[in-house]
Amino acid sequence: MRQVKHVRQTRDKAARQGRAYERMGPELGPDELDLARNARQQWADEQALVWAAHQLERWTRRLAMEGGDDPMPRDRVLADLGTLLSIWTRPISTAVPRSPGREAVR
């Protein structure tokens, strides 16, 4: 529940600063860096919230099955978002492919 509250606060802050930027411009209000910082923070907070909800659903289903109970049906949207996040957060290899007779360059 703390994460939900935090996400709401982050969204409110981003919306307030976005409106202030539109009204006052970067000279008097927040600048583009502030807006970008808010967007990054909002993305990170929302990603953490979706991931936590996805993991909670997986664990409650597993706990129900191990206890011999019928698990709740999966939330398709949450499952799809969890899958997307797991793909997007995988590390990307930075190694350059080897050519014959050479070692990989990092």
* Token pair in block for residue 97: 């492919």
Report if residue 104 sits inside a domain.
no
Higher pLDDT, 44 or 93: 44
Q: Is the pLDDT of residue 103 over 60?
A: no
- Verdict on whether the full-model pTM lies above 0.75: no
Report if residue 12 sits inside a domain.
yes
Report if residue 50 sits inside a domain.
yes
Tens digit of each residue's pLDDT (9 = 90 or more) over 32-84: 999 999 999 998 998 888 888 888 888 999 999 899 999 888 888 888 887 77
What H or E segment, with its residue span, contains residue 25? Answer: helix 2-28
Q: What is the pLDDT of residue 72?
A: 86
Single-letter residue type at 74: R
Q: How many domains does the chain have?
A: 1
Q: Which domain holds residue 16?
A: 2-88
In angstroms, rounded to a whole number, what is the distance separating the alpha carbons of residues 56 and 37?
29
Q: How far is CA 66 from CA 21, 52, 58, 63, 83, in A?
A: 53, 21, 12, 5, 23
